[in-house]
Amino acid sequence: MIPVNQLTDPAVRAFVTAVNAGDQQAFAAALTPGATMSDDGGDRDLNDWAEREIFSSGGHMDVESESDGGRALIAGYRDDTWGEMRTAWRFTVSDGRVSRFETGQA
């Protein structure tokens, strides 16, 4: 596992830190206005998805590996709804914040 504080990209590091802390304000601050996302190939409403998949279900990421300058991760993801699964994450960063992320099972 890669400790969160050692993730290469600062925007991705802020995103993962916010997810693992369950910190909605820090999560919002890690994103650009109008940020978008997809889950398993389908675009989702980011706010609805984050509430359901992260904040109300105790979402947590354990990063196994990173590539693409820290903007692509493989992580063990767990929450109270789906349990634990191996996931892939790809981030687009603009002006130091995440403008889009794509996730799904790895």
The reported pLDDT for the residue numbered 61 is 98
The reported pLDDT for the residue numbered 37 is 98
Number of Cβ within 10 Å of residue 29's Cβ equals: 12
The reported pLDDT for the residue numbered 35 is 98
Dist CA 4 CA 14 (whole Å): 9
Contact 54, 22 (CB under 8 A): yes
The reported pLDDT for the residue numbered 11 is 98
Is this prediction's pTM over 0.85? yes
The reported pLDDT for the residue numbered 22 is 97
Dist CA 47 CA 44 (whole Å): 9
